[in-house]
Amino acid sequence: MGTENSGIDVWNEIIHGSAGDLYVGIGATVISVVIGLSVGAVAGYRGGVSGAVLLGLTQIFFVLPVLVIILLFAKIFLFLLAQGLALSLIVLTLGLFGWPLFAFIARGEILRIRELEFVQAAKSLGASGSRTLFRHIVPNLLSPIIVLSSLAVAANIITEVVISFLGFGDPTTSTWGLIIQEGFDHIDSSWWVAFFPGIAVVICVLGFNLLGDGLSDALNPRLRE
């Protein structure tokens, strides 16, 4: 795959850069799943005023431009960039603003599951609301959440690549976006520096998307052939 102008091997850069991108993709997804599942579970199971408030809060967060917010935070917290904490800032921002879709999925599934017979049987046997929710309902909605999580990892990786390419990432940590950004300045003479990291992004994102399709088929009996 050649070398950069400084003599660094592009293949080694791709391998080292994968750690930062996977950290952002998986870390932000875990935060989003925890928040979205909690909010969606409470909004779908309790209903009423509290459910309506949580649903309204979810809709507000859903329409916020996450990429613009991350770029704004990067400008505000410049001292974090200097200390090499930009990737952690990206993880937190993506996680804190990427949960609404998980909340919508969780809420919709809970509205369906809570009317099923085994849930009504648990209530009739005296199970508390929290026990019914977390012991009987939440485990039955994990399948769509797992599928969506694999797709969210891919989306978060693409977002990180875009942020680093625009120059708002962590300059002290090697990521695919930073490598592409550095290689783009010498695209005429050293095209391979930006090309092969771009191929790595495509393969990684495609892999997570195919993983999501496979999990959807495996975890949903209605889609099995």
Average pLDDT of the segment spanning 208-217: 82
For the entire predicted model, the pTM comes to: 0.82
b/e string for 143-165 if b means 16 or more Cβ within 10 A?
bbbbbbbbbbbbbbbbbbbbbbb
Per-residue pLDDT tens digits for 90-149: 888 889 888 998 988 888 888 887 777 777 787 777 777 677 777 777 777 777 888 889
| Helical axes 100-113 vs 10-46, angle rounded to 10° | 40
What secondary structure letter does DSSP report for 3?
B
* Whole-number Å distance between alpha carbons of 78 and 183: 24
* All domains in the chain, ordered by first residue: 10-223 (1.10.3720.10)
Distance CA 178, CA 197 (A): 10
Summarised one tens digit per residue, pLDDT across range 51-90 is 788 888 888 888 888 888 888 877 777 666 656 677 888 8
Half-sphere exposure of 169 (CA within 13 A, CB side): 26
Token pair for 161: 């690549």
